[in-house]
Structure 1
Amino acid sequence: MNAEERLAQRIESLSKMFTDAEPASLRAGYLADPSAGRPVLKGSTATALVPRWNEHSSGLLVPATVQPPAPLDLGAAYLTCDEIFGVALPADYAVRQLGRLPLEGVIRFCAQVLNALALPGGSVEAIEAHFAGQWLEEPVRSRVRNLLRDESRRLLVPQAFMLLARMALEISPDTLPDDLSDVDIVGALFSLTQTMGRLPGIGPSVITDKPGTLGRELIANQHFHRSWSVPGVLARYARRWLQLPSEHHGEPGIVDLSQTYQDCTGARLEDLAAVAGYLWLCTTMGRFVIEPGELAGLAMPAERVEAVLTLITNDLPGMREAVRRERPGQRTQWSFDPFQQWPVIRLPENRLLILDPRHLISRAFGWLPIWDIEFPPPGRTKPAGHRKTVARAKQTLRHCSEIYVSEVLHAITRDEGTTRRVYDDTELKTAYTAQGQRRADAAIDYPGTWIVIEVTTTQLRRDAATAVPGESQIQDIDKLVDELDQIDATINALRGDETALTGAPAADDRRFLPLLVLPEGFPVNPITLTVIRERARNRGLFTRPDTDPVEIVDVEELEMIEALQEASGPSLLDILRGKQSGSLRNAAVRDHILHVLRVHPDAPARHGGLLDSALKPLVNALPQHHRSSPAS
């Protein structure tokens, strides 16, 4: 008797145990009505515990009640003013309230919540419950808590706090008004949600090769809410800004980014890391206002601390002026340029306020220090050949970003020793030398499939990232499609002569998976991915049956896969293939990892040493009794 027959016999035995004790007369005396979707056990009216099974593409059988997430399930909807209070507030309510609220008080109010939401390991649900209890009276408080039992609803919306802060810089007075009896900052906040996201026309509902008005808003929304881990940003900073430029010193076009930063700004890059790192460290302990003289305790000369503060801080009058001089036609509900340029606000009496720690981390450890090199602080004389210096600095950071991605790819595939799986730009150039041949940056040889990769540091321009009406988003998408041409050309070369690259006979029935890597991130969603794939198809790219749809990842997603590989998890190919056959096929790769695979990878092992390098300036600047804090 084989396994299948034994299983059938066991099922029959169990069935008799449940049904044979029922009297025959009773069994024939009633009818059971097994409703659609609710089958009953044979011989009884008992509903089957697991009525149906679904088969995944992997062959795994799961209960039909386990529904995979859809892209719409990944979003959260904020509570509107009428849901919270039971009535809609007048359209000018926020303006009237802010006109009677002191500016510093509004900024502190916004910073309190934005910093709470950014606390490492913080629970959004707990934070929302706390502020609901603090701000709202009964019966409104109970209504809101009941609404928040739906996990897809949110009370605290970062965009609303940023809009409130921006509006306050335009409207709120500097000093405290005489009458504060009926001033309502909470109502002003929630009244903004009545108009946020309201569009004059959402355009066509069918996604084609253009994002449309709704798509434009979704791209800006996802760009604003993009998530990244602070340790990951710090680790990449250490490698791209500090280590790789030194390791590749002397190569054509490579400059010392640390020295270039000091030459152009007068501030040291390590001082920027120390001061910004200390301010960020304070926010992780729940402090978003730094008292006067606290930075004097750092083991750094006061003039060097001030050189950094000159770059990343602005006072309230300066912030007012920056907001007011923004061109109205270029400002949307996603435009917060002054807060990104100056993430630290100088309050009266020499206090410093961090409005949102995310902006501080991006400003000091992401791509934005290049902005300081390109636009030195007022009063700073530009060095000779400044324009050429800026171009070389940008090229150096781009090149180091591409090298870093290559390192992650080698770590993912464990490509070491005699095993060769990743073929980099150099090998591709050696193998395919035809005149005019375009080549991708890398190709990974998996059994039966080539993953062909192009790395580009192209980022959304400001207009595209903030949903300014016009063609900016489609122009930026077309830049990405231009990069896809290099992948397509490399696929054609591999299809024609794989042996030229590998030195081994070509395998039969090869497939190709195009992969675009954007180290600085890109809002991947059903609209953008559909638009990119359609525009690529219209150019004749990836049209052969042996080629899978193009996928887009950022470097943090690659590092998630690297960490999974260290834990003997699925390969890069398995994850991409699983995504393309899953319910989130048109979402980002991280969404597939987190919500379909249901895993939350730790940081890759490489990050340990890189974090030490990134935090070294901060550790050296801390008072002696605090020096274990960043590493703890």
Structure 2
Amino acid sequence: MDSGKDLQRELEGLRRLLAGDPASAVGGDYLVQPAKEKSLLTGSAVQALGIPYSQRPSGLFVPQSLASGPAPIDLVATYITYQELTGTDCTWPDIATILKATNLGQVLEFTSKWLAKWTFEEQSQVDSSYIETNFRGARQRSASSLMRDGRVIVAPQMLHVLCKLALLLCPGDADRIPDETLALLPLGIGELLGNENRQDEVGEVHVNGIPASLTQELISNQHFNQRIDVASALGRFTRRWREIPNESPHADLGSMEDLFTAAVGVTFDELEIVAIAIYSCMLGGAPSFFSEDFFGGIGLPKGRALAALNVISCSLPKLREAIVADFNELGGGFAWSISAFERFPVIWAEDAIVITDPKLLISRVFGWLPFFDVYSTLAKKQKGQFRDYAGRISEKYATEVISSIAPQALGKRFYTEDDLRAAYGSNLKVADAALDYGDCWIVIDISTRQLMRGSVAATSAEDVKKDLDALAVKKAHQIQSTINCLRDNESALTGHDGIPNRRFIPVVIASEGFPVSPFTTSMIEDALRNEGVLQDQDIDPLQIMDTTELELIEALEEKGISTFAKVLRGKPQAGLARMPVRDYISIELGLFPERSSRLNGLWKKPFERMRLKAFPDEEPLL
């Protein structure tokens, strides 16, 4: 097999996915015939191209007629490499030698500091600070020059990998090393991992000639680097794990709060107070190292605060064991899997309490992981009951947001799964919700499925396929069934005759997130074509959104800026058609609405609960 031709095909496939096909869109020849009035390239007798070109933010030159909007490639970050700053190559033995002679505390201080800055600051701010703090002289000037050209230097993945390596290799009593030496290690790690990931995986090729190994890496990359919306996380936690279960506790198991307290020995209130106290201090610029005494001054008895901290923390030896166990269970995944840090974002070091990553702290306390705290303590039958119950709670929260989005004028416009079953029978597959926008229907199904570990860690192409089948293909069939019912007999649901020539917009809400990209979108399109589902002319392309994006739509609707239908109808024709909805709204449309009043009320409740529990005599915090 000709490896050169294979590489050329892979690069061409990447180019089409990321930048489109400008040559086919422009028509006519790029080169013009020689003529007196035509200009030549400076210093040569070569005639200039006849079409004016513009440079995209990514650095790619394209015809001006195609440069009006952003393309997926403009969202791709290119990192500064170790070789560019040092002029030499880095090897794994080099990194191991340095770490074996480096103080563990110094590395933990370094990685936690820059992960915190990445959480709280814009990428350009973090990069500038990293270069100014860690480099001097010619190396600093070189790094700054590369950054001005659009390159980035701080990558959370490389900081996490460095932290894992340090936990496994660094002694606790070694001397500190120069800051510049330590700051170069993440760049060397990135370069080495990049070289390793260039090897093609033997087996199925998924997307336009692109190897499965590269597709897996891109999925893991996007999942890993997704920034967290803290307000959304706090609001969703309040409603999903606290309010809805208290309003509708499980008939056999009881409420989520009681189950959680029985499982871990602390209350949600206590865990909230500890997490908010830590995060607020770090947001205000506090270092990521805390003393035990800090937890005696946050409004809880110190013993209760430390008990809550124990739920999300572990010792250095236990964390090392968790890192090794994770690697062994996955059969690899060292580059992408951070499940040990996700479970234990706080480390009890010898003389300090270290917050490895404030983003992971918020996800640990206010995300999906409290479910696993409870789930791991239940008997087999109870586990099935609890899993189904948690799924229904998550679906209910998403449905509440959809209900808030629904048009309010001209009668009923929002229809639930119960409405659809009542109209079309309980034996048919139906979606979870449908919104009537007059000229179109938005048909929505909700998935509470999380990406499988092999998908997150880029260790299993089979896990990626399972995720896509469950999230897209299975849900697409339910949406198609609902569309068929609406198309054939809309009046059974609405009570009035249907409007002719309506369009249908299929949407899957992935409540726990999904990495939408040109690659995953192409995979889903291929799968749906093979299934013959959602292929009719009156059906728009399937859109996959997470709950945070749904809340963004809610804000646009409430503020009168745009509508759900308008956003979804415009996206397939946009430059970022195959990117996440949030990117289309913020980057292509340039819309940044304030949070909805519903979410604004919810995300402040943990702060108010903290005030009432810990500081009852103080004024409201927000």
> Could you state the TM-score of these two structures normalised by the residue count of structure 1?
0.84
Which is worse superposed, 265-274 or 200-209? 200-209
Per the TM alignment, residue 464 of structure 1 is displaced from its structure 2 partner at its CA by 1.0
2:265 alignment partner AA: G
> 2: distance between equivalents of 1:415 and 1:405?
18
- Counterpart of 1:173 in structure 2 is 171
> 1: distance between equivalents of 2:253 and 2:419?
21
The structure 1 residue matched to 2:37, chosen from 25, 33, 38, is 33
2:103 alignment partner AA: P
Per the TM alignment, residue 326 of structure 1 is displaced from its structure 2 partner at its CA by 3.3
2:431 alignment partner AA: A
1:294 alignment partner AA: F
1:165 alignment partner AA: C
> 2: distance between equivalents of 1:143 and 1:403?
53
The structure 1 residue matched to 2:338, chosen from 333, 336, 340, is 336
Per the TM alignment, residue 173 of structure 1 is displaced from its structure 2 partner at its CA by 0.7
Question: Contact (CA 8 Å) 1:253, 1:395: kept in 2 or not?
Answer: no
Per the TM alignment, residue 91 of structure 1 is displaced from its structure 2 partner at its CA by 4.1
Question: Contact (CA 8 Å) 2:300, 2:614: kept in 1 or not?
Answer: no
> 2: distance between equivalents of 1:539 and 1:520?
25
Per the TM alignment, residue 254 of structure 1 is displaced from its structure 2 partner at its CA by 7.6
Per the TM alignment, residue 113 of structure 1 is displaced from its structure 2 partner at its CA by 0.7
- Counterpart of 1:421 in structure 2 is 413
Aligned residues: 562
> 2: distance between equivalents of 1:209 and 1:509?
38
1:562 aligns with 2:563: no
- Counterpart of 2:443 in structure 1 is 452
1:521 aligns with 2:519: no
Per the TM alignment, residue 183 of structure 1 is displaced from its structure 2 partner at its CA by 9.2
- Counterpart of 1:77 in structure 2 is 78
Per the TM alignment, residue 611 of structure 1 is displaced from its structure 2 partner at its CA by 2.0
Question: Contact (CA 8 Å) 2:206, 2:212: kept in 1 or not?
Answer: no
Q: What is the correspondence of 1:167-316 to structure 2 with a 5 Å cutoff?
A: 167-177=165-175, 184-198=181-195, 199-202=197-200, 207=207, 212-249=212-249, 255-287=254-286, 288-316=288-316
- Counterpart of 1:6 in structure 2 is none
- Counterpart of 1:14 in structure 2 is none
1:79-123: CA deviation from partner (whole Å, max 9, x where unpaired): 11011223323442211110101112111110111111112xx23
1:496 aligns with 2:491: no
Question: Contact (CA 8 Å) 1:232, 1:603: kept in 2 or not?
Answer: no
Question: Contact (CA 8 Å) 1:99, 1:171: kept in 2 or not?
Answer: yes
- Counterpart of 2:13 in structure 1 is none
1:452-485: CA deviation from partner (whole Å, max 9, x where unpaired): 1100101101111110134111111111111221
> 2: distance between equivalents of 1:587 and 1:612?
31
Which is worse superposed, 199-208 or 300-309? 199-208
- Counterpart of 1:474 in structure 2 is 465
- Counterpart of 1:154 in structure 2 is 152
> 2: distance between equivalents of 1:211 and 1:371?
34
- Counterpart of 1:129 in structure 2 is 128
Secondary structure at 1:154 match in 2 = coil
Per the TM alignment, residue 495 of structure 1 is displaced from its structure 2 partner at its CA by 1.3
Secondary structure at 2:115 match in 1 = helix
1:486 aligns with 2:486: no
Per the TM alignment, residue 212 of structure 1 is displaced from its structure 2 partner at its CA by 1.6
> 1: distance between equivalents of 2:391 and 2:531?
27
Secondary structure at 1:544 match in 2 = coil
> 2: distance between equivalents of 1:429 and 1:499?
14
> 2: distance between equivalents of 1:231 and 1:541?
36
Secondary structure at 1:547 match in 2 = coil
Per the TM alignment, residue 419 of structure 1 is displaced from its structure 2 partner at its CA by 2.4
CA RMSD of aligned residues (A): 2.7
Select the structure that is richer in helix.
2
> 1: distance between equivalents of 2:391 and 2:400?
14
> Could you state the TM-score of these two structures normalised by the residue count of structure 2?
0.85
> 2: distance between equivalents of 1:399 and 1:109?
42
- Counterpart of 1:410 in structure 2 is 403
Would the alpha carbon gap of residues 65 and 585 (structure 1) be closer, same or farther in structure 2, given more than 3 Å must change? closer
> 1: distance between equivalents of 2:122 and 2:438?
42
> 2: distance between equivalents of 1:134 and 1:409?
46
- Counterpart of 1:368 in structure 2 is 369
Per the TM alignment, residue 208 of structure 1 is displaced from its structure 2 partner at its CA by 5.2
> 1: distance between equivalents of 2:480 and 2:469?
15
Per the TM alignment, residue 34 of structure 1 is displaced from its structure 2 partner at its CA by 6.2
Question: Contact (CA 8 Å) 2:476, 2:534: kept in 1 or not?
Answer: no
Per the TM alignment, residue 259 of structure 1 is displaced from its structure 2 partner at its CA by 0.6
Question: Contact (CA 8 Å) 2:345, 2:360: kept in 1 or not?
Answer: yes
Secondary structure at 2:191 match in 1 = coil
2:398 alignment partner AA: V
Question: Contact (CA 8 Å) 1:100, 1:173: kept in 2 or not?
Answer: yes
Per the TM alignment, residue 552 of structure 1 is displaced from its structure 2 partner at its CA by 0.6
- Counterpart of 1:86 in structure 2 is 87
> 2: distance between equivalents of 1:550 and 1:397?
26
Secondary structure at 1:452 match in 2 = strand
1:399-456: CA deviation from partner (whole Å, max 9, x where unpaired): 122112122112222437x62111111110100016x311110111112211111001
Q: Which runs of 5+ in 1 are unaligned?
A: 1-30, 37-50, 53-62, 377-384
Identity of aligned residues (%): 30
1:372-403: CA deviation from partner (whole Å, max 9, x where unpaired): 11235xxxxxxxx6334433333332212211
Question: Contact (CA 8 Å) 2:134, 2:179: kept in 1 or not?
Answer: no
Per the TM alignment, residue 313 of structure 1 is displaced from its structure 2 partner at its CA by 0.7
> 2: distance between equivalents of 1:270 and 1:337?
25
> 2: distance between equivalents of 1:231 and 1:291?
27
Which is worse superposed, 313-322 or 354-363? 313-322
- Counterpart of 2:68 in structure 1 is 67
Question: Contact (CA 8 Å) 2:249, 2:256: kept in 1 or not?
Answer: no
Secondary structure at 1:606 match in 2 = helix
Per the TM alignment, residue 163 of structure 1 is displaced from its structure 2 partner at its CA by 0.5
Question: Contact (CA 8 Å) 1:211, 1:474: kept in 2 or not?
Answer: no
Q: What is the correspondence of 1:539-554 to structure 2 with a 5 Å cutoff?
A: 539-554=531-546
> 1: distance between equivalents of 2:528 and 2:558?
34
- Counterpart of 2:32 in structure 1 is none
Which 4+ runs in 1 deviate beyond 6 A? 203-206, 624-627
> 1: distance between equivalents of 2:132 and 2:607?
37
Would the alpha carbon gap of residues 614 and 79 (structure 1) be closer, same or farther in structure 2, given more than 3 Å must change? same
1:183-237: CA deviation from partner (whole Å, max 9, x where unpaired): 9322323211211233243468872599722111111001101123101110111
Question: Contact (CA 8 Å) 2:452, 2:463: kept in 1 or not?
Answer: yes
Which is worse superposed, 293-302 or 352-361? 293-302
> 2: distance between equivalents of 1:292 and 1:568?
49
Question: Contact (CA 8 Å) 2:295, 2:306: kept in 1 or not?
Answer: no
Secondary structure at 1:488 match in 2 = helix
> 1: distance between equivalents of 2:350 and 2:213?
42
Per the TM alignment, residue 502 of structure 1 is displaced from its structure 2 partner at its CA by 0.5
The structure 1 residue matched to 2:386, chosen from 389, 393, 406, is 393
Would the alpha carbon gap of residues 209 and 552 (structure 1) be closer, same or farther in structure 2, given more than 3 Å must change? farther
1:105 alignment partner AA: Q
Secondary structure at 1:471 match in 2 = helix
- Counterpart of 2:117 in structure 1 is 116
